[in-house]
Structure 1
C-alpha cells in the first residue's frame, strides 16, 4: 500500500519551490512509441501495467506524485502568493502530428514562454485528451488541452484547459482541414505554417496548481501543473474530428485514469470566499 499523500499546504508549496529552484536531471519527454502502451484498461499494456513494461517507466506504477488527479474542493487550498501566470507567447511555425494515441501540434522555433516563480518555461507543443484526464470534484469534461513547456534546465510545466460541448473553438477551427489530412494515419505530419498559441490558451482569472507527473510513459515526476478553472467550449464536430483522427478511436479513449487515493492538496484561486481571484492570463 502506498503511503498517504494528503500533504499539508505548506509542504506542497515547499515542494513546488524546491522543484523550481533546484531542478532535477533533464526531464524525460512523453514517449511517441504508442505501440508499446495502451489506454485500454483490460490490455496487458494498459495503464495499470505501464510501470512494468520498461524499467525507465517504473514511475508509472511506483511513483508518489502521479497525474492526473481529482481537484476536489475539500483538498483545494488558497495560496495568495501564486499571483499572475505571466506569458509571452508568439506565433511560430508549427507541424501537426498524428501520434496514434493523440494529436500533437509541435512548434518549431520560439513560440514563447510562461514564467513560473521567475523561471521561464518555453512552449514546445500542444495536444488534446478526450475526455479530460483531470477532474473537478469527480466531474470530467469532454476534452482537455495540454500546453507542454520546458525550462532551460529541462524541467516540465503543463497548462491544462478544459472544454465542454458548445460553440466552436476558433483555434481548433484552423486545425480542421489538417485533421482531415492526417486522420487515422499514425505518424503522419503536416506543416501548418505560422500558428499563434495565444489563440489556444484561453482567458481565465482562476487556476489550480500542483506538482505531479507526465500522464503518459515514462510518467516522469516533478511536472508543474497549472489547470485553468474556466471551461472553454468546443463544437461536437471539432471534438469528433480530434477523436476520429487517431487510429484507435473506436477502441479506447486517450485519457489516463485518475489517480484516486493519491490526492494531495492543490492551491487555487476562485470565486466567493473559498478562493482568491488569481489572474492566470
Structure 2
C-alpha cells in the first residue's frame, strides 16, 4: 500500500512536470493579461464578446484555437483523486499595494515582493489579484457568485517565465473581511478607471487553506488567453455578502458587470484533486 501511494505521487508529479517542460519548449512566451478593456467585452452576441476574442487580434488566436483554455468545469467524473500529496506551500508577506479599476475587473497589485507559492520545486511570485462575478470556473456545473484569481509568475529562464494562478470561489453569505476593507476605495471609483494606493495588504487575507484543491493546466481567462498556466482552485468555498458582490459589479463598466468567460472544452486534459481521500 505504501509503495502504491509513493508510485501515485511520483506519476502525478511527473505528469505535471512533463506538461510544463513541453509547454516551455514551444515558441510561445508568457503574455500578461490585456489592460485595455476597450478592446474586448463580455456581452453575449457582441462583436467583441468572448466568442470573437480569437478573431480580434492575431496575438489572441489562442482564445479561439487553443486546446488548453480556461475556465473549465470541475466535474466529479472527470477528476482524478491524488491523496496525501501535501498542502500548497505559501510564503506570502504583507506589502504595499494599489487598487485599480481596469474597467473589466477590480485588481489589487502589490508594489513590492509579496511572497510566493511553490509548485513542484518552482517558486511563483505573487503579482496581483482580481475578481470575477459570477465565478468563471464551475464545480459539477454549478457557477458560484464570485471568483478571485491570484496571479503568480516564476523567474525567467532562457527569457521565458511561467504563470500559476490560484483561484477561490465565493457564495453569498457572510461578508469577506478583505473585500470589506477594499469596499471604501471601490466606492470612489465606480465607473472610473482609476488606480489608488491602499497601503499594506497581506495576501494571507485572501484565505485559502491549500489542503484540498483542484489542479490542471489551462490558460489566462482574458485575452491573449495564453496557455500553459498552472491552475490551482481551492476546493473550500468562501463567502461574500450580496452587497459586496453588487459593488464589484457596479464598479466596472456595464459590459463587464458579469465578467465571466464561458466554460471551455476540457480536450482530454486531466484534473487532479489533491488531499481528498479516495472512496472505499
SS of the residue corresponding to residue 40 of structure 1 reads coil
- Structure 2 residue runs without a partner (length 5+): 1-9
Equivalent residue for 1:144, pick from 122, 144, 147:
147
SS of the residue corresponding to residue 235 of structure 2 reads strand
CA distance in 2, matches of 1:19, 1:88: 25
Two-structure CA RMSD over aligned residues (Å): 2.2
**Contact 1:12–1:265 at 8 Å: present in 2 too?**
no
What displacement does 1:247 show? Answer: 1.7
What displacement does 1:262 show? Answer: 3.5
CA distance in 1, matches of 2:266, 2:274: 24
Equivalent residue for 1:217, pick from 223, 239, 243:
223
Partner of 1:45: 48
Equivalent residue for 1:183, pick from 179, 183, 190:
190
Go from structure 1 to structure 2 and tell me whether the alpha carbon gap of 1:42 and 1:27 turns closer, same or farther (over 3 Å shift): same
Q: Scaled by the length of structure 1, what TM-score is found? A: 0.88
**Contact 2:82–2:276 at 8 Å: present in 1 too?**
no
SS of the residue corresponding to residue 142 of structure 2 reads coil
Q: Scaled by the length of structure 2, what TM-score is found? A: 0.88
CA distance in 2, matches of 1:197, 1:59: 31
**Contact 2:174–2:239 at 8 Å: present in 1 too?**
yes
CA distance in 1, matches of 2:167, 2:89: 15
Residues 156-195 of structure 1 aligned to structure 2 (within 5 Å):
156-186=163-193, 188-195=194-201
Go from structure 1 to structure 2 and tell me whether the alpha carbon gap of 1:48 and 1:274 turns closer, same or farther (over 3 Å shift): farther
Partner of 2:95: 92
What displacement does 1:261 show? Answer: 5.9
SS of the residue corresponding to residue 159 of structure 1 reads strand
CA distance in 1, matches of 2:273, 2:133: 24
Residues 231-242 of structure 1 aligned to structure 2 (within 5 Å):
231-242=237-248
What displacement does 1:169 show? Answer: 0.7
SS of the residue corresponding to residue 145 of structure 1 reads strand
Go from structure 1 to structure 2 and tell me whether the alpha carbon gap of 1:274 and 1:58 turns closer, same or farther (over 3 Å shift): farther
Go from structure 1 to structure 2 and tell me whether the alpha carbon gap of 1:274 and 1:55 turns closer, same or farther (over 3 Å shift): farther
What displacement does 1:16 show? Answer: 2.2
What displacement does 1:199 show? Answer: 0.5
1:16 aligns with 2:22: no
What displacement does 1:241 show? Answer: 1.1
CA distance in 2, matches of 1:89, 1:50: 34
Partner of 2:264: 259
Equivalent residue for 1:56, pick from 55, 59, 71:
59
Partner of 2:202: 196
Partner of 2:5: none
